[in-house]
Amino acid sequence: MAPKRCLKRPSAATVGHLDPPERPEWVEKQLVAVLEVEQVDWATHMAKVLTVELRAFSKQMGGQVMVKLWCDFAGMATEVFAAQRIKESLASSGLVVNFAFRVFLACDNDSHSRDFIEVNHSPAHMACDVDERDFGTGTLCTTAGDTLQMPRGGVDIYVACFPCGPFSPRGKRLGLDDKHGMCYTRAIETIEHIQPASYIMENLCTLTHQKAAGDASSNIDVITEYSRKRLPNYDVATITKIDPTHNGYCQRKPRLLQVGLRNGIAPQGRLADKCERLLTNPAAITMNYRQFLKLDDADVSWHRFNCLPAHEERLHLLGQGCTCSLDPRKTCDVHRCKCEKCRGILGPPKCQWRLKAVLFIEKNFDRGIEEFLGNGNDERLTYCNILQLHGKSVSTRPREINMLNIAAHLPKCQPLDKTLAILDMSQGIDWLNIQTDGTVQTMATNSTMLCLQDGHILTEMQMATLMGHSCSTLKFRHTSANQFKKLIGNCVHVSVMGLAVFAILGSLAVN
């Protein structure tokens, strides 16, 4: 029986013959700012931690080693970028082995992801749906409309970054019972069938499962136990929290990794030992995000912040027409609220975001909103006013403008001329996460990261650089900036995936 919905689809490779890969204009503009950024050399650091094992492995193998990858829920196929960095670090370390990493199959239901993978990694096969697999006949459907016989062995590393929605605290937390939770079981079925030498599965750390009303329990144990029962012939190591800061990056994105090595390839427990070695030997963070991205010193003077405006300042702001203020209950004729429920009305907020902003003020400033706005605070120059006086504008959305005006008053963000505070403007104020220690918080698919010191919004290329990508080597064809941002938000950090690959390689040496 052939896999279901095995339909003919134009592959990205076919499109490429008609439209050769080129850098879109937005890429050329953004690359200028990151070309001089030097990536953290996490691969060399990890290679030193496992020097003895890697040298023994190189003596065993000699010559060239071809590593075949299978990537499900592939996203950007970050593991391939990590593998390239590992290959380069091992070569510079003088090891005999010349690694060649090749993608046998990449699967993702997002067409932009498949196009990006096609042009950057040239996989032998592409697929768009893990459900288009028939394990009875051992076949799957490719994007080219072909029926592919799945291999029984021969795959060296299987990677699945399965969707986090069923396990996220922001969702229903149905876990494996969710329709998208079946993606995890599909990954397990694929491993059962193709029997890769090793596998890596990745997800967020806060895996939870709503078993009953008001009862949420960790799903890490559920998933670990499930994989052990279904894959008894694999030695498994579970890393419950690995963050890029462990690898020397000023970027936070803690993840859960489940790494498996097929029995007989290495002694039991060796994989866990190599993971532990890498985890207990972190790399130091040497730069904050502004230094790392080589952001210029702030060109905004904050000495007038929260001061009553001078006559000329008032005239300039009146000319802009914007009357957005610190008070979330007030409306602006220029930056209108989409709901149209609160036009020109004072009193109780009519918008949910306005109500949440009032509650945020009362919670974080330990006083009522009237006291917070007392002494003429609402007539004083706000954060966004100062940016306007410097000829800058960061948003046209009243929700975001008000959130920035309020956040700038938080003690942890002071003083504004030196703060390292960075926040995600895409979040509601009730989910507001501000990092002030020089690191950048987890970036999601719609994140808009703003540096409070100067109102600078990180570009997609700067976000990708923080996620461990050497942007000058990336290839683009039809990917827009927003599509690329989504890919970045979905992907695991390059160095985090690299740690898992290193643990596998370090386990293969015969002592």
Residue percentage of the chain with pLDDT more than 90: 64
pLDDT of 172 > 80? The answer is no
Q: Please give the C-alpha separations between residue 117 and each of 12, 123, 357, in angstroms, as whole numbers.
A: 9, 8, 41
Q: What is the pLDDT of residue 98?
A: 74
Over residues 407-442, the pLDDT tens digits come to 999 999 999 999 999 999 999 999 999 999 999 999
Give the residue, 340 or 392, on which the prediction is more confident.
392
Contact between 475 and 448 under an 8 Å Cβ cutoff? The reply is: no
Task: Tell me the pLDDT tens digit for each residue of 273-315.
Answer: 999 999 999 999 999 999 999 998 888 999 999 999 999 999 9
Please report the pLDDT score of residue 150 as a whole number: 96
Given a cut of 80, is residue 266 above it in pLDDT? yes
For residue 400 the two structure tokens come to 């975001």
CB atoms within 10 A of CB 28: 11
Say if residue 211 is in the same domain as residue 351: no
**pLDDT the model gives residue 511:** 58
234-254: pLDDT as tens digits: 999 999 889 999 999 999 999
CATH number of residue 193's parent domain: 3.40.50.150
Torsional sign, CA 12, 14, 18, 20: positive
**Which whole number is the average pLDDT over 498-510?**
91
Q: What percent of the chain shows pLDDT beyond 70? A: 85
pLDDT value for 107: 95
Could you tell me if 352 and 488 lie in one domain?
no
How does strand 133-134 pair with strand 125-127? unpaired
Chain length of the chain:
511
pLDDT band with cut points at 50, 70 and 90 for residue 181? low
pLDDT of residue 212: 43
419 shares its domain with 499 = no
Instruction: Give φ, ψ of 74 to 5 degrees.
Output: -70, -35
Report residue 505's pLDDT band, with 50, 70 and 90 as the boundaries. very high
Residue 250 in any domain: the answer is yes
Q: Which residue has the higher pLDDT, 77 or 99?
A: 77
Same domain? 485 vs 452 = no
pLDDT of residue 375 exceeding 70: no
Residue 224 or 6, more confident = 224
| pLDDT tens track for 208-219 | 444 444 444 456
Say if residue 86 is in the same domain as residue 155.
yes
In a domain, 427, yes or no: yes
Q: Cα dihedral sign for 492, 495, 501, 503?
A: negative
> What is the residue-averaged pLDDT of the chain?
86
Both 224 and 326 in one domain: the answer is no
Whole-number Å distance between alpha carbons of 334 and 130? 48
Mean pLDDT throughout 62-82? 90
296 lies in some domain:
no
Q: In this structure, are residues 173 and 208 in contact, taking their beta carbons and an 8 Å threshold?
A: yes
Query: 165 is written with which tokens?
Result: 């929605």
Residue 467 resides in a domain: no
- Contact, 431 vs 242, CB < 8 A? no
What is the pTM for the complete model shown?
A: 0.90
Annotate 52-96 with DSSP letters as a single string: HHHHHHHHHH-SEEEEEEEEES-TT-HHHHHHHHHHHHHHHTT-S
Residue 390 included in any domain: yes
Same domain? For 453 and 494 the reply is no
Provide the token pair at 337: 């609220």
DSSP string, 148-207: EEPPSS--SEEEE---SGGG-TTS---GGGSTTTHHHHHHHHHHHHH--SEEEEEEES--
Mean pLDDT of 268-277: 95
DSSP state of 251: B
Residue at 7 is within a domain: no
**By the 8 A CB rule, do 420 and 437 touch?**
yes
**Token digits of residue 159:** 């990677």
Instruction: Return d(Cα 469, Cα 495) in angstroms, integer.
Output: 9
Q: Residue 261: enclosing H or E segment and its boundaries? A: strand 255-262
Assess whether 485 and 451 both reside in one domain: no
366 & 494 share domain: no
> Residue 228: its pLDDT value, please?
86
CB 422 within 8 A of CB 252: no
CA–CA dist 122, 226 (Å, integer) = 33
Question: By the 8 A CB rule, do 444 and 424 touch?
Answer: yes
Instruction: Give the separation between CA 295 and CA 145, rounded to whole angstroms.
Output: 47
pLDDT in tens, 80-118: 999 999 988 888 877 766 778 899 999 999 999 999 999
Under a CB-based contact definition with an 8 Å cutoff, are residues 476 and 121 in contact?
no
Inside any domain, residue 493: yes
Average pLDDT over residues 173-180: 56
Structural domain of residue 162, as residue ranges? 12-288+479-506
**Distance between CA atoms of residues 201 and 94, nearest Å:** 30
pLDDT at 209 (0 to 100): 41
385 and 497 belong to one structural domain: no
| Domain identity same for 228 and 368 | no
Cβ neighbours for 72, distance < 8 A, ≥ 6 positions apart? 107, 130, 158, 159, 160, 161, 162, 186, 187, 190
Peptide bond into 411 cis (omega under 30): no
- Look at the chain and report how many structural domains it folds into: 2
* Residue 207 banded pLDDT, cuts 50, 70, 90: low
Least confident of 20-34, 115-129, 214-228, 327-341: 214-228
CA 199 → CA 116, 204, 227, distances in Å? 23, 17, 11
Q: What is the pLDDT confidence band of residue 165, given thresholds at 50, 70 and 90?
A: low
Local confidence band at 264 (pLDDT 50, 70, 90 cut-offs): very high
Lowest mean pLDDT among 85-99, 151-165, 269-283, 497-511: 85-99
How big, in percent rounded to 5, are the helix, strand and coil portions of the chain?
40, 15, 45
Same domain, 280 and 346: no
Tokens of residue 74, six digits? 């592939």
Residue 5 lies in a domain: no
Distance (Å, rounded) from C-alpha 442 to C-alpha 163? 16
